[in-house]
């Protein structure tokens, strides 16, 4: 599903590469944690998958896409195959919960009838029934992240990238959010979650990819956070 082969990323402004000769694969349907200290290359990996940056060398595949060879006109199709969730939620503050999710469908030209059917379904799926007409600033952090997840999965992406999705949440809410991600994963979406949350990684026992200094230093099938 996702494959990196000898990927090196050297930012022009930087003296050392952000990713060094990185090779690994993530299979369809996996749930993988991406751990490692700040600056180890996790966000760079996400940016390369989204083709927001180009690797200096090496090859990247995602689903049917040979990402580093992709033509500019095919980049929107790649990005539609990837849902993204962030630590800071990134909701549209002037839109309601339902409008935030609907917007993700409007921008790709889905008909209004589809939007009216799908938005309530996905809001129920993430546990936001009854909150359709709330504004983001009326929600708790956990609810905001549920909206962000609903928006990210409503187009049924191949992959969901979650960049520290529990970084702003208390431990109990974090567990609830990871439960939602786990359910999304169990319905077939590959999930990659960058995190510093050792409790979550230890509780889930899923794939652990540990980056350090742009290199893969650990790749465990049912890993723990480790001693680091
Ligand atoms: P992480 O997400 O694990 O914190 P990053 O991928 O953000 O790591 O960063 C990896 C390395 O690349 C760091 O040394 C960082 O300073 C550098 N870096 C990230 N983005 C840029 C950029 N746009 N220009 C130059 N250097 C960058
Ligand atoms: P389950 O199999 O968990 O009962 P359903 O297949 O009945 O779930 O799905 C309920 C609704 O939730 C779907 O119609 C869809 O709108 C939404 N949904 C669930 N999972 C996803 C997903 N991964 N991507 C997009 N929408 C989803």
The pLDDT, as a whole number, for residue 228 is: 57
CATH for 1-81+157-228, options being 1.10.10.10, 3.40.50.2300, 3.40.50.720, 3.40.50.300: 3.40.50.300
Residue 215 has pLDDT above 80, yes or no: yes
Residue 187 CA: which ligand is closest? Answer: 2
pLDDT tens-digit readout, 102-161: 999 999 999 999 999 999 999 999 999 999 999 999 999 999 999 999 999 999 999 999
ipTM score for this prediction: 0.77
Percent of the chain with pLDDT over 70: 99
Domain locations in the chain? Answer: 1-81+157-228, 91-156
Q: Tell me the CA–centroid distance for residue 98 and ligand 1, in Å.
A: 34
The secondary structure of the chain, three-state, reads CEEEEEEEECCCCCCCCCEEEEEEEECCCCEEEEECCCCCCHHHHHHHHCCCCCCCEEEEEECCEEHHHCCHHHHHHHHHCEEEEECCCCCCCCCCHHHHHHHHHHCCCCCHHHHHHHHHHHHHHCCCCCCCCCCHHHCCHHHHHHHHHHHHHCCCCCEEEEECCCCCCCHHHHHHHHHHHHHHHHCCCEEEEECCCHHHHHHHCCEEEEEECCEEEEEECCCCCCCC
Q: Tell me the CA–centroid distance for residue 134 and ligand 1, in Å.
A: 36
């Amino acid at each position: 599903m996702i494959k990196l082969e000898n990927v090196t990323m050297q930012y022009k402004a930087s003296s050392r590469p952000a990713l060094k000769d990185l090779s690994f694969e993530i299979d369809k349907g996996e749930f993988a944690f991406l751990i490692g200290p700040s600056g180890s290359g996790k966000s760079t990996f996400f940016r390369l998958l989204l083709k927001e940056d180009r690797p200096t060398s090496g090859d990247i595949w995602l689903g049917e896409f040979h990402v580093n060879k992709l033509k500019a006109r095919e980049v929107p199709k790649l990005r539609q195959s990837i849902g993204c969730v962030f630590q800071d939620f990134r909701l549209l503050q002037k839109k309601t919960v339902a409008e935030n999710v609907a917007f993700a469908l409007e921008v790709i030209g889905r008909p209004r009838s589809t939007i009216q059917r799908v938005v309530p379904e996905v809001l129920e799926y993430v546990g936001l029934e009854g909150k359709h007409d709330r504004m983001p600033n009326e929600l708790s952090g956990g609810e905001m992240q549920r909206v962000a997840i609903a928006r990210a999965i409503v187009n049924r992406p191949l992959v969901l990238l979650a960049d520290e999705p529990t970084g702003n949440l208390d431990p109990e809410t974090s567990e609830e959010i990871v439960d939602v991600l786990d359910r999304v994963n169990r319905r077939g979406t590959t999930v990659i979650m960058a995190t510093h949350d050792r409790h979550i990684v230890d509780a889930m026992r899923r794939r652990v990819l540990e980056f350090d200094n742009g290199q893969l230093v650990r790749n465990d099938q049912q890993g723990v956070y480790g001693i680091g």
